[in-house]
Amino acid sequence: MIIKKTSEQIEKMAEAGKILAACHRELRKLIRPGLSTIDIDHFVDDFIQSHGAKAEQKGYKGYPFAICASVNDEICHGFPSPSPLQEGDIVTIDMVVNLDGWMADSAWSYPVGKVSEQAEKLLKVTKECLYLGIDKAVIGNRLGDISHAIQVHAESHGFSVVREFAGHGIGNKMHEEPYVLHYGNPHTGLKLCEGMVFTIEPMINQGSYKLIMDENGWTARTADGRLSAQYEHTIAITKKGPLVLTEQEGVESFLDMYISLK
């Protein structure tokens, strides 16, 4: 069942998204060689709590941390660790903010110091995949339009789209219907309506999309050991187009913009 959100509910999720976006903007400044992902986990947990919210991933289905921190060949759900990040690594930080019961979810991949040209290209193309998907998130389009735009862009650069994980509806729960694949055919799937809120979160691999699972039962990594990147936003479908609730640029003006849309 797809639970459409009222504008009041979307406004609450936007408040959660604003905290989340501010946290990612801090991480952009913070992440450097020598810092560990457990340091990042503590920073994020404190940041979210100090804004009166809760890091929803902690304890979710037994997940032990505030963030997922996926380094290099780790695709998603990487466990934060005390070993220092190295110059040239890429790391994806994923988090969910719960503010008074309403959620926002956003993951971002960061370069650690100077990274290879190939890694930079993977980050750039993966971010473009996210925004090309968002462009298709308009009333009357179908989910497959989002999926297809992402797949075409990734594959046109020789990269591949991870199959096992999808975007998802979100609201007063972290995961709801619909599920948003990042590969597929245009003009297929659910028709998008005003009030739907879901994530788009492509995981893009440098090599094959095949993955293997770690023994911790959570962490997925590339089977070929090559790099994987991910960018994720929470978006609302509105009459005026997709509204990115976790946008990092211009978040101060976000609520004004939202109010002007009503």
- What residues line the site for ligand MF3 (CB under 6 A)? 57, 60-61, 63, 68, 77, 94, 96, 105, 168, 199, 201, 232
Cβ of residue 43: shortest distance to ligand MF3, in angstroms? 17
Whole-number minimum distance, CB 213 to ligand MF3, in Å? 14
Pick from 45, 105, 145, 247: which binds Co ion (CB under 5 A)?
105
202-230 residues labelled b (16+ CB within 10 A) or e (exposed) = bbbbbbebebeeeeeebbbbbeeebbbbb
67 belongs to the binding site for Co ion (CB under 5 A): no
Which of 94, 145, 176, 247 is the binder for Co ion (CB under 5 A)? 94
- Nearer of residues 115 and 168 to ligand MF3, judged by Cβ: 168
Give the integer Cα–Cα distance in Å for 215 and 130.
Answer: 30
As a whole number of angstroms, the distance between CA 86 and CA 32 comes to 8
Minimum CB distance to Co ion, residue 222 (Å): 19
- Range in contact with Co ion (rule: CB under 5 A) among 103-111, 165-173, 189-197, 245-253: 103-111
192, HSE (Cβ side, Cα atoms, 13 Å): 28
Q: Which of positions 214-233 make contact with Co ion (CB under 5 A)?
A: 232
Q: How many of the other CB atoms lie within 10 Å of CB of 30?
A: 13
